[in-house]
Structure 1
Amino acid sequence: MTGNRPRTQISAWRPSVAGIAEVFHAEFADHAYPIHTHDTWDLMILDDGSVDFAVDRRRHGAAGAGTVILLPPGVPHDGKTVNPSGFSKRVLYLDTRVLPERLTGAAVDRPVHGDGLLHHRIHQLHGALAHPGDQFEAESRLALVRERLLFHLNASQVRTPGREAGRIAAALRELLDSRIHAGVSLNEAAAILHAHPTHLIRCFKQSYGLPPHTYLTGRRIDRARRLLLAGQRPADVATAVGFYDQAHLNRHFTRHLSVTPARYAALRNRGASPEPTASSADRPESAVGSR
């Protein structure tokens, strides 16, 4: 009989990222939300299945991976599964620091967005939020999500970096280099450099070919390599270079070098490469290929 029970899987947490009140992931086979409201914006991506919902007494439907749904604060809404296969979703509850309440009307008029770029950016944001210590990346990805949402709500236009891009990018790189261990939030960097957060990101990427959070991680990995080869323990290295913990260091280090910090540290005990053996170094020149 257990196998006949409705399939429900839920996870939820509150990340350390300003503007995000909660992250909520759910998979429902059969569920109906009663009509209710939130004091936050409800930003949902549908990963699978179909949903039927009403916003301000107007019904809407959404189906298939890639769909984005935005529900404003204070507006009554409900939601339910459409078929036996149910649906799975990932939700970000955003406060009014991310989107102002004055945009409620525009969101009510068009709650469903079939925007592949927006969906991809939200997916990337969820990935960053899943790992403690990746706040700078999450802040950067949230800024780009916010920009895209404002575009859909007819509240902003994307600003393309101009002649100032190199100067702003160099100033941000200098700031990141001075904060490798302590780190810096995106909003703090924007305030110090007197630039909009998303403009900072675009200027940096245009000038250096990678986003600022990726640059900072790479600098931390470089420092970690030196400390590991100097004999420090991975757990000590993680905190010394600014990672959240050893697991955080392990994940990024392995992505960069395909080995764990512990295995990399073990290389120091091997010493220099041995001298070539006579069978290779003393081989007659004609046998080596002196054509």
Structure 2
Amino acid sequence: MPSGRDSERITAWKPRVPGIAEVFHAHFTRHAYPMHVHDTWTLLIVDEGAVRYDLERHEHGTPLGTVSLLPPHVPHNGQAATPEGFRKRVLYLDAAGDGPLGPSFIGAAADSPDLVDPLLRRRIGQLHGALAQPGDELEAEARLAFVGERLRERLRPALAESPERHKPVPDRRVAASLRELLDARVTEGVDLKEASGLVHAHPAHLVRSFGAAYGIAPHQYLMSRRVDRARGLLLGGQAPVEVAEACGFYDQAHLSRCFKRVVGVPPGRYARGGRRDVAVGRG
């Protein structure tokens, strides 16, 4: 078992998802952050251990299950609250432009940065899962839209408590428009920001309406259309690496992951099985 500095590990990357400046995963045992600031929102969940930090001269903490939202330009520090250290996942969200939260939420977040909200935490975990898979950017955008929606609800308690807020509002026009757009761009795809602008609907409303109308998320619909195209090309004799590029997948690994999820077998095995069936049929 590694100890001390040897056990401190980080992974960081900038995803191709508007609104997210950086993804940061870390396991720290001894590192302590000095007072510092970010020009982004810091959305933090802790998977093991706990973190304690000072914000606005008040001490806060992140026991397991807590979501912490630290506003931009507000000084804070941080360190492990237990001898075993902590393992955390952080999203740095743009504070302007594509980000889900504007400056009007800074005061509320500074007053109450730690949120005990199982739904929000689950949505953040799902977002991290999508961000870890290259090619799943449309899914990540949709999940970010729902994370942003939930954060705004928590920072506006009156809105969150309103029973009207939780009633589904299906919008068939919005759903049909998005479906037409996805059908027209199966290979090249479309990001959620552009789709929202073209359909004239908020991203969360767009995704929710599509799911209510068709029983499938937009990213699942698009990937299933791509898998359908890939099946035909594979049975036509094209190599998986060529099929991945022709059908709009990020790479061959992305094709394999999506194909197996839908069809039940990897692309190569599917293609070989198809050729055997043809050979048998010819007698």
Name the TM-score, length of structure 2 as normaliser.
0.91
Secondary structure of the residue that 1:207 maps to in structure 2? helix
- 1:105-254 alignment runs, 5 A limit: 105-154=107-156, 158=165, 160-162=167-169, 165-254=171-260
Q: 1:288 corresponds to which residue?
A: none
Counterparts of 2:73 and 2:274, CA distance in 1:
60
Counterparts of 1:186 and 1:70, CA distance in 2:
24
Counterparts of 2:242 and 2:89, CA distance in 1:
35
Q: Percent identity?
A: 54
Task: Judge conservation of contact 2:4–2:29 (CA < 8 Å) in 1.
Answer: no
Counterparts of 2:51 and 2:154, CA distance in 1:
21
The alpha carbon displacement at 1:98 in A equals 2.2
The alpha carbon displacement at 1:13 in A equals 0.5
Task: Judge conservation of contact 2:43–2:90 (CA < 8 Å) in 1.
Answer: yes
Counterparts of 1:258 and 1:232, CA distance in 2:
20
Is 1:99 aligned with 2:92? no
Secondary structure of the residue that 2:27 maps to in structure 1? strand
1:212-245 superposed Cα distances (whole Å, 9 cap, x missing partner): 1111111111111111011111011101111011
Secondary structure of the residue that 2:62 maps to in structure 1? strand
Give the residue type in structure 1 aligned to 2:103.
Answer: E
Give the residue type in structure 2 aligned to 1:88.
Answer: R
Give the residue type in structure 1 aligned to 2:238.
Answer: Q
The alpha carbon displacement at 1:107 in A equals 0.2
Counterparts of 1:69 and 1:228, CA distance in 2:
47
Counterparts of 2:118 and 2:279, CA distance in 1:
50
Task: Judge conservation of contact 2:40–2:94 (CA < 8 Å) in 1.
Answer: yes
Counterparts of 1:203 and 1:143, CA distance in 2:
13
The alpha carbon displacement at 1:4 in A equals 4.1
Q: Which runs of 5+ in 1 are unaligned?
A: 276-291
Counterparts of 2:70 and 2:18, CA distance in 1:
19
- 1:29-48 alignment runs, 5 A limit: 29-48=29-48
When residues 160 and 202 of structure 1 are mapped into structure 2, their CA distance, relative to the original with a 3 A threshold, is farther
When residues 174 and 3 of structure 1 are mapped into structure 2, their CA distance, relative to the original with a 3 A threshold, is closer
Q: 1:50 corresponds to which residue?
A: 50
1:234-268 superposed Cα distances (whole Å, 9 cap, x missing partner): 01110111101111111111222232111111122
1:263-291 superposed Cα distances (whole Å, 9 cap, x missing partner): 1111222135968xxxxxxxxxxxxxxxx
Task: Judge conservation of contact 1:159–1:199 (CA < 8 Å) in 2.
Answer: no
Q: 1:9 corresponds to which residue?
A: 9
Task: Judge conservation of contact 1:161–1:199 (CA < 8 Å) in 2.
Answer: no
After TM superposition, the runs of 4+ consecutive aligned structure 1 residues lying more than 6 A away are none
Give the residue type in structure 2 aligned to 1:29.
Answer: T
User: Max radius of gyration: which structure?
Assistant: 1
Give the residue type in structure 1 aligned to 2:147.
Answer: V
How many aligned residue pairs are there?
A: 272
When residues 192 and 161 of structure 1 are mapped into structure 2, their CA distance, relative to the original with a 3 A threshold, is farther
Secondary structure of the residue that 1:54 maps to in structure 2? strand
The alpha carbon displacement at 1:136 in A equals 0.8
Counterparts of 1:161 and 1:180, CA distance in 2:
28
Task: Judge conservation of contact 1:51–1:79 (CA < 8 Å) in 2.
Answer: yes
Superposition RMSD in Å: 1.8
Give the residue type in structure 1 aligned to 2:23.
Answer: V
Give the residue type in structure 2 aligned to 1:86.
Answer: G
Q: Which runs of 5+ in 2 are unaligned?
A: none
When residues 38 and 209 of structure 1 are mapped into structure 2, their CA distance, relative to the original with a 3 A threshold, is same
Deviates more, 1:33-42 or 1:167-176: 167-176
The alpha carbon displacement at 1:84 in A equals 1.3
Counterparts of 2:85 and 2:52, CA distance in 1:
11
